[in-house]
Amino acid sequence: MITHLNGKLSELYPTHAIVECNGVGYHVNISLNSYSKFEKEENIKIFTHLIVRADAHILYGFFSKQEREVFLKLISVNGVGPASAMMMISSLEIEEIKEAIETADVKKLQTVKGIGAKTAQRIIIDLKDKLDGDIFNFNINSDNSKNKSKFEALSALDVLGIPTKTAEKVLEIVSKDFPDSQADVLVKEVLKRI
C-alpha cells in the first residue's frame, strides 16, 4: 500500500496532480480542497490511498491525514464510492462534514452532487459514532507526541473492532495512568481494561 508520496509537484489540476518521485510520475486524484492548498507548492508530501479494481489501480491523494481518514470513513459506507467521497471532500470542508453528520443535517449533505436523501441518511447513521474523537479531536499533524500517540491508539483500536466511544473512554483513563506512553502501550492497556 502506498501511504504517502514525497516529491516534486510536476503538474496540478483541480481534480488530479502528477507527483514525481525519483523519476517516476504518479497520477494522484485530489479534492478541490487539496488543490487549493497545493497550488503554490513545488515539493509536496501528499497522503494517499490506493484502490485496486479489476480494471485499474487508482491513487487518491490528500493534503492531510485528517482528510484521508474522512475519505476512508466515507467509502466504508454502503453506497458511497471513492468518486462520491471525493465529491463530498471537494464540496464541503472537513469540519462541515463532521458537523452535518453530528447534527444529522441531511440537507447539508444533499448539497453535494450525487448525494441523495437515502445516501445522506445512511452516511449519518453509519458514521455518527465513528467520527467522534478519532479524527477530529486530535491534531494529528501537530508535534505533540501525546496527541499523536492517542490518535494512533484510537486508529488501532478501531481496526481491532473496538467501538469508538468505548475506546475513547478507556483511552482517557489509560492516558492519565501512562501519560508519555507510545501508541502500542496505550492499545495494550486499553485492551486489558475492556
Strand partners, 43: 8
Residue 6 pairs with which residues in a beta bridge? Answer: 45
Residues in the chain, pLDDT under 70:
131-147
| Domain regions of the chain by residue span | 4-62, 65-127, 145-193
Pairing state between β 57-62 and 24-30: parallel
CA atoms within 13 A on the CB side of 80: 29
65-127 — its CATH code? 1.10.150.20
- β partners of residue 157: none
Architecture of the structural domain at 145-193: Orthogonal Bundle (1.10)
pLDDT score, position 174: 87
Question: For residues 29 and 68, is the Cβ–Cβ distance under 8 A?
Answer: no
Q: Which residues on neighbouring strands pair with residue 8, listed in sequence order? A: 20, 43
The whole-model pTM stands at: 0.68
pLDDT by residue (tens digit) across 78-122?
989 999 999 999 999 988 999 999 899 999 999 998 899 999 999
Question: Partners of 11 in the beta sheet?
Answer: 18
**Cα–Cα distance for residue pair 142/49, rounded to 1 Å:** 21
101 within 8 A of 92, measured Cβ to Cβ: no
Distance CA 109, CA 55 (A): 30
Distance in angstroms (rounded) separating the CA atoms of residues 193 and 158: 16
Query: Taking the C-alpha atoms of 75, 80, 84 and 85 in order, what is their torsion angle to the nearest 10 degrees?
Result: -20
- The pLDDT score that the predictor gives to residue 131 is 65
DSSP of 101-128: HHTT-HHHHHTSTT--HHHHHHHHHHHT
CATH superfamily of 4-62: Nucleic acid-binding proteins (2.40.50.140)
Q: Could you tell me which of 134, 59, 65, 136 has the C-alpha nearest to residue 97?
A: 136
